[in-house]
Chain A
Amino acid sequence: MKKTISLILCLVFCFACFAPSALAADKVLKVATNVAFPPYEYYEDEKVVGIDVDIVQAICDKLGYEMELSDMEFGSIITAVAAGKVDVGFGAITITEERAKSVNFTTSYSTGIQSIIVKEDSPITGVEDLEAKGIKIGVQQDTTGDIYATDQFGEDHMARFNKGADAVQALITGKVNCVIIDNSPAETFVAQNKGLKILPTAYAEEAYGFELNKNATELYDEFNGALEELLKDGTVQKIIDKYISAD
């Protein structure tokens, strides 16, 4: 008898743990990003903040959704969107043709450039120096920095990390010779760590978009419509200015 009761209690407990997520499904927008990319998304006082997060929050407010965010590896974001695990994926994700085969991109809300970070006393002065044998390029895995650099310099030059910050750490400890990453996080990393600098020549220019599942056309129209309105009325620009001081 006791065993039966404890078994039932266990089952009830299990259901209690998993049920809330299933019950409160109404008007929740599931979003996924990689929270390690300042100023686009990062943790501050245990909360996720940043340009992308604020824009998506503004869109959710406008459409009456509640945002439910999951923090995953950068490379898994688009896969999660394509598989329908989440509704919207973001993370300063560059719109590329390859990626557009798997997901629908919204209108671009921001642009970025890929920058090269090196140590202050580094002999590397430009992109052409990266071709030299033995040069290791640190990147965040699956970012455009990773993809472009792999295509241009080849597999032997690459050192791929799960987080941009890990790549920068590897640069500081001398494991890699340079790091290719989006300019905004690059500036944050250089500001936070002594002895690093960004090369004046940018590596590549690109446009960021949010991505939705190919089949979610209704949500796409709703979401992209709201985004375009926010772009028009200057809300997006205000959010960007809040994080990146115009200088």
Chain B
Amino acid sequence: MAQAFAELKESFIFNFIEGARWKYITNGLWVTLKVTFFALLLGIVIGVVVAMVRSSYDQMKDEMKPGLGKTLMTALNALARLYLTVIRGTPVVVQLLIGYFVIFVSTTNTVFVASMVFGINSGAYITEIIRGGIMSIDHGQFEAGRSIGFTYIQTMRFIIIPQAFKNVLPSLANEFIALLKETAVCGYIGLMDLTKGGDVIRGRTFSAFMPLIAVALIYLLLVVFFSWLIGKLERRLRSSER
């Protein structure tokens, strides 16, 4: 037992302390958090906008009078559906490589490219989550808002979205966790994220156990921490129910 512990300690020193290799992990962690944060921001913005377009179209297409407004909505809806089909129909690694080599050709800022790609990717999933939330609110609520004189936007802003948000929070948290772990493929475009950092150590020390377990533990801790935060937020929002 004592010997196994000593070996473990030696392996730890070799993998992380020697040559200050722990810096690969900390720098990588920082990059992972940066990419996840910006991707989530972008994803939520895209998600809310596209979900509004999709759900409004679905709810109002029969009531709208033919004219510029209806044509515009139809076009926007078609665009949104195309976006959802393409993004949800292709693997994120492929999107990442396309983003890096084909779309954002002129930029050398890899964190930016990764954030954009993961944001656009996540946006598609968040769209469907939020659309589900909006559709789950009884249509009567919407009609009530309109009949007391709220505009469409006001009804959305003050009545529908706050209730929908509470409903979608668990799924949204799920998407956030998935996003955090999905960024592990950033290494494909030469970005030193947490996974790649562990990989570099593995390539230098040729030991699999320490770097992989360390990286896995850090992801796990992050997810546990963020789940706890979101759990708190959920309880806080629920307090208005009684």
Contact = CB atoms under 8 A, between A and B. Distances in A.
B101 A173 contact: yes
Given A160-B190, A160-B200, A162-B187, A99 B108 contact: no
B190 A166 contact: yes
A142 interface: yes
Given A141-B199, A161-B190, A162-B188, A174 B106 contact: yes
B153 interface: no
Contacts of B110: 159, 175
Give the contact-size bracket for chain A.
20 to 34
Contacts of B187: 141, 160, 162
Interface in A70-108: 73-76, 78-79, 82-83, 98-99, 101-103
Interface string A22-60: 000000000000000000000000000000000000000
A67 interface: no
A78 B205 CA distance: 10
Interface string B94-126: 000000110001101010000000000000000
Nearest to A151: B19
Interface in B197-221: 199-200, 202-208
B196 interface: yes
A170 B105 contact: no
B101 A169 contact: yes
A76 B211 CA distance: 12
Contacts of A75: 199-200, 202-203
Interface of B: 23, 27, 100-101, 105-106, 108, 110, 187-190, 192, 196, 199-200, 202-208
Interface of A: 73-76, 78-79, 82-83, 98-99, 101-103, 136, 138, 141-142, 146-147, 155, 159-162, 166-167, 169-170, 173-176
Given A74-B203, A142-B203, A162-B188, 13 more contacts: A79-B203, A79-B206, A138-B190, A142-B200, A155-B27, A159-B110, A160-B187, A160-B192, A161-B189, A162-B187, A166-B190, A175-B108, A175-B190
